Amino acid sequence: MAFSRVAVIGLGLLGGSVGLAIGQALPECRTTGWDRDPDVRARAAERGLVGTVCETAVDAVKDCELVILCVPVGAMAAAAEAIAPGLGANVVVSDVGSSKQKVGELLRTALPGATIIPAHPVAGTENSGPDAGFAALFHNRWCILTPDGDAPPEATEKLGRLWTALGARIEIMDPAHHDLVLAVTSHIPHLIAFTIVGTASDLEEVTQSEVIKYSAGGFRDFTRIAASDPTMWRDVFLSNREAVLEMLGRFTEDLTAMQRAVRSGDGETLFALFERTRAIRRKVIEQGQDDARPDFGRADH
């Protein structure tokens, strides 16, 4: 077993899922947890998200070999400050934050005595809070580890083994590259969804009830993404600003090209793009990253 005592800080969707997944896959591993919100702590204890829900961050991390911070990216500094007095020697501190460069820098500065191995399980849903977590969240999903050059390789290897036990596939990546890749695969798609849902609800010529009534035309799928947690996503765009802006520049150019094709009646350009994007969807399904069923198989959870 990679770690026998693990603390989970932040007991929402990700923290709850990590706790439940460890409980299921590694029942002999002792888990403790803490969240700053007493109601979340009470619900986490009721659901048994971790073995013991503690009343303080220091109690939760005491004697732990691994601490996983599962709080919004903008709360990582506060969480690091809360756990710092309780950390033992040789502890590994990791996280699940959606952006990696800023979080890694911040944790290394805030916790100079600890071994920092940032991580990002590329798995989630639009739900948040202590009722949202489930043990199978990481099955067949990628978990990207972004250690810096000073991180001991054996700590990275142990963390990889833990995530593999939870069902994930491991990739090791440079943090700046992670932020660029995730900007295009996750952050910009979310920004587009937030924007299109906002645009539709602002249109004066179309009523709100029409937007909802005819949502099956495509809008509905954007509303699922646009329902994601506002705190988490605000923090992602604030912490991954450079990579998001770089990819947004590329996207805006491509969107302008599409605008030109629509305006000039250039069906060939439109058709060629749509054919290419349809093939990408097929590859996503072939690689097990989504389900071909109309509800994407999500009703199973």
Residues that bind ligand NAP (CB under 6 A): 9-15, 35-37, 40, 70-73, 75, 78-79, 82, 96-98, 121, 124-125, 128-129, 132, 229, 232, 236
Residue 141 near residue 183, CB atoms below 8 Å: no
For the bound state, the minimum distance from the C-beta of residue 253 to ligand NAP, rounded and expressed in Å, comes to 28
Name, in order, each residue with C-beta under 8 angstroms of 229's C-beta and a sequence gap of 6 or more.
13, 72, 126, 128
Q: Nearer to ligand NAP by C-beta: 179 or 229?
A: 229
For the bound state, the minimum distance from the C-beta of residue 217 to ligand NAP, rounded and expressed in Å, comes to 25
Q: Nearer to ligand NAP by C-beta: 5 or 190?
A: 190
Residue 73, amino acid: V
Burial label for 224, CB within 10 Å (0-12, 13-18, 19+), is middle
For the bound state, the minimum distance from the C-beta of residue 13 to ligand NAP, rounded and expressed in Å, comes to 4
Q: Nearer to ligand NAP by C-beta: 115 or 240?
A: 240
For the bound state, the minimum distance from the C-beta of residue 256 to ligand NAP, rounded and expressed in Å, comes to 30
Q: Nearer to ligand NAP by C-beta: 97 or 160?
A: 97
Residue 252, amino acid: T
The residue among 157, 179, 24 whose CA lies nearest residue 94 is 157
Residue 33 near residue 54, CB atoms below 8 Å: yes
For the bound state, the minimum distance from the C-beta of residue 206 to ligand NAP, rounded and expressed in Å, comes to 30
Q: Please, where are the H alpha helices in the chain?
A: 13-25, 38-47, 57-61, 76-83, 101-110, 153-165, 175-182, 188-202, 208-213, 219-226, 230-239, 241-263, 267-286
For the bound state, the minimum distance from the C-beta of residue 63 to ligand NAP, rounded and expressed in Å, comes to 19
For the bound state, the minimum distance from the C-beta of residue 197 to ligand NAP, rounded and expressed in Å, comes to 17
Q: Nearer to ligand NAP by C-beta: 98 or 115?
A: 98
In the numeric block, the tokens 């500094």 are attached to: 77
Residue 75 near residue 102, CB atoms below 8 Å: no
Which tokens hold the place of 204? 């004066």
Q: Nearer to ligand NAP by C-beta: 242 or 266?
A: 242
Q: Nearer to ligand NAP by C-beta: 71 or 197?
A: 71
Beta bridge partners of 9: 34, 69
Query: From the centroid of its chain, how far is CA 2?
Result: 23
Which tokens hold the place of 166? 């939870």
